[in-house]
Amino acid sequence: MAEATNTTKTADFDAIVVGGGFAGIYMVHRLRNLMGMTVRAYEAGSGIGGTWFWNRYPGARCDIQSMEYSYQFSEELQQEWEWSERFATQPEILKYANHVAERFDLMKDIQLNTPVASTIYDDATALWTVTTASGEVKTARFVVMATGCLSSANLPNIKGRDSFKGDTYHTGKWPHEGVDFTGKRVAVIGTGSSAIQSIPLIAQQAKHLTVFQRTASFTVPAHNQPLDPEFVRDFKSRYKEIRTHNWQQPFGQDFGSFGESALKISETERNDIYEKQWQKGGLSFMGTFDDLMFDRVANETAAEFIRTKIRGIVQDPAVADALAPRQIVGCKRLCVDTGFYDTFNRPNVTLVPLDNNPLEEITATGVRTGKGLVEVDVVVFATGFDAMTGAVSKIDVRGTGGRTLQDKWAEGPKTYLGLATAGFPNMFFVTGPGSPSVLSNMLPSIEQHVEWIAECIDHVSTHQGRTIEALPESEETWVHHVNDVAHTTLYPNCNSWYLGANVPGKVRVFMPYIGVNTYVDKCRDVVAKGYEGFRIAR
Ligand code: NA7
């Protein structure tokens, strides 16, 4: 371990980690097993796994390929773990998280069933005091917020919501015992990724399913399949090379672009290429051409290709038309599905578009729109998350001078590199707003942040630093840079959760940083220049 300072001796722990998802558990490994620090992680759930612990809805699956949605810090781990399918299911990902925790003996420092209520900095001692919801109080020199990007469920305040007499569920807080929809009339509110994954399976069980759609989403087929052992063998033999290559890509993974511009070739040629990508399946559809997220006309060619697909799959032209999104493809996260559009050919499924027919209220017996009441036994809220800042905002975080994080971020989250925020010394965020996070493969991005934070803590400790803190001016410059980069693309042009637009009253700021490759270089450069943009106080 790095040499202890006086303040460390008076703290209960060198570091407290808030959250036991993939970020939290790796942070514990890094700080305790590799640096010899004392660490306590607090996790609200009764198990580790974060988003993969809570999101147990039918069909929950990662939209990044399983061979790449995994840790790379341990060669033994990545060689020994066997994924069974191209896109891993939630239970398999959760099993993997638990395997990692067991393999590296992490559970003894992770306290489950323990939401954190507050984390308050003391200027005099330079220590953080962390208080749990049950009143346990512990101090630490460093605090790492590993609270996740999609961990705070968004349950819209629809009139009459709590008057419903049947069962209600949120996809992001699904019961562990599962839900049996057999013989039930079910309403699903929302058509984002969670709805798109769960609707085909709910429809197979339910007596009748009514889907309430506010905005149609674009989705491409997953073409999920069992992994071929030969493919796995080859992939594992090239893991290092593949991971290194991915760090050089803007989204941290290789989408295999077919050409620079969608507009430089004929329509027939272009549609043949889209067709190849459609058959391949998955998010790489967005990498078909380099200008899809930069040029509206180019984007429209991809959008229209998907709309044509929808019209070809969905038999009722009016339903097909309602399911065909009007917005920019990729502007809201592209979804990846198995049989979503086909589900609307089933006689027991009804689509209720809400564009010109707003959802008016939930009554004791159902969901009412301008076109009348749909009586149901169950309402499923597939209404997403207060993304990127929701979980942190629920905790009372106070930095120097007692200033709250809520106050500091009142006009939108402000961070330097998504890693730290001025006025909150020795506090770090894993995949915080202002870092690539949700516009990257989350697992490698988590690792990159955890390793950067661990190295930083080690640097501060070995150099007898008392605190490290982002400078306000470097933070301002970074926030503007994140915004400027976003505005060179089409991303800010729709009501996405990247902008916070899905939560009423949330300030609209584009939160993720676009460009894994440039971001990773910047983080390295900051370290090489002696933590440029930070102040280390002795
Ligand atoms: P999303 O993608 O935020 O989707 C939420 C859906 O719920 C979306 O269709 C929303 O419509 C809809 N919604 C939200 N509030 C309402 C109200 N009040 N009335 C009607 N419809 C509403 O969340 P997911 O959980 O599906 O996916 C989140 C991410 O997890 C996903 O991107 C993947 O990365 C994994 P809207 O589009 O806002 O009009």
The DSSP-derived string for 462-482 is HTT-SEEEE-HHHHHHHHHHH
CA-CA distance, 402 to 423, in Å (whole number)? 10
Tell which residue, 385, 491, 383, has the closest CA to residue 436. Answer: 491
Compute how many other C-beta atoms are within 10 angstroms of the C-beta atom of residue 176: 9
pLDDT tens digits for range 3-13:
444 444 589 99
Closest Cα to atom 29 of ligand 1: 193
CA-proximal residue: ligand 1, atom 32 (nearest): 333
Q: Would 2-152+387-537 and 161-227+256-381 be classified into the same CATH topology?
A: yes
Indicate the residue type of 229: P
As a whole number of angstroms, the distance between CA 535 and CA 414 comes to 17
- Tell me the CA end-to-end span of the chain in Å, nearest whole number: 19
Give the bridge partners for 366, in sequence order. Answer: 375
Pairing of strands 208-213, 185-189: parallel
Measuring CA to CA, how many Å separate 39 from each of 8, 143, 227?
12, 10, 37
Find, among 32, 42, 40, 41, the residue nearest to 12 by Cα: 40
Residue 517, exposed/middle/buried by CB under 10 A (0-12, 13-18, 19+)? middle
Ranges of each domain in the chain: 2-152+387-537, 161-227+256-381
Q: Identify whether the C-beta of residue 275 lies closer than 8 Å to the C-beta of residue 302.
A: no
Ligand 1 probe mutation, 502, 506, 508, most atoms within 8 A of CB = 502
Amino acid present at 518: T
Q: Is the CB of 382 under 6 A from ligand 1?
A: yes
pTM: 0.96
Please report the pLDDT score of residue 4 as a whole number. 41
- Pick from 193, 199, 498 the residue to mutate for probing ligand 1's pocket: most ligand atoms within 8 Å of its CB: 193
Q: Is 156 in the pocket of ligand 1 (CB under 6 A)?
A: yes
384 close to ligand 1 (CB < 6 Angstrom): yes
Rounded to the nearest angstrom, the distance between the alpha carbon of 149 and the centre of ligand 1 is: 14
pLDDT value of position 105: 98
Provide the token pair at 341: 């559009």
Domain 161-227+256-381 classification at class level: alpha beta
Identify the CA nearest to 193 among candidates 362, 367, 64, 23: 64
Q: What atom of ligand 1 comes closest to residue 381's alpha carbon?
A: 7
In 225-295, which ranges are continuous DSSP H helix?
229-237, 239-247, 267-280
CA of 490 to the centre of ligand 1 (A): 19
The token pair at 114 is 């323990």
The pair phi, psi for residue 482, each rounded to 5°, is -60, -45
Furthest-apart CA atoms within the chain: distance in Å: 72
Which residue puts its alpha carbon closest to atom 4 of ligand 1? 192
Candidates 3.20.20.70, 3.10.20.90, 3.50.50.60, 3.20.20.60; CATH matching 2-152+387-537: 3.50.50.60
DSSP bridge pairs for 428: 144
pLDDT by position in tens, the chain (length 538):
434 444 445 899 999 999 999 999 999 999 999 999 999 999 999 999 999 999 999 999 999 999 999 999 999 999 999 999 999 999 999 999 999 999 999 999 999 999 999 999 999 999 999 999 999 999 999 999 999 999 999 999 999 999 999 999 999 999 999 999 999 999 999 999 999 999 999 999 999 999 999 999 999 999 999 999 999 999 999 999 999 999 999 999 988 776 789 999 999 999 999 999 999 999 999 999 999 999 999 999 999 999 999 999 999 999 999 999 999 999 999 999 999 999 999 999 999 999 999 999 999 999 999 999 999 999 999 999 999 999 999 999 999 999 999 999 999 999 999 999 999 999 999 999 999 999 999 999 999 999 999 999 999 999 999 999 999 999 999 999 999 999 999 999 999 999 999 999 999 999 999 999 999 999 999 999 999 999 999 9
**Ligand 1 centre distance from Cα of residue 338 (Å):** 18
CB 212 within 8 A of CB 188: yes
Residue nearest to atom 2 of ligand 1 (CA): 192
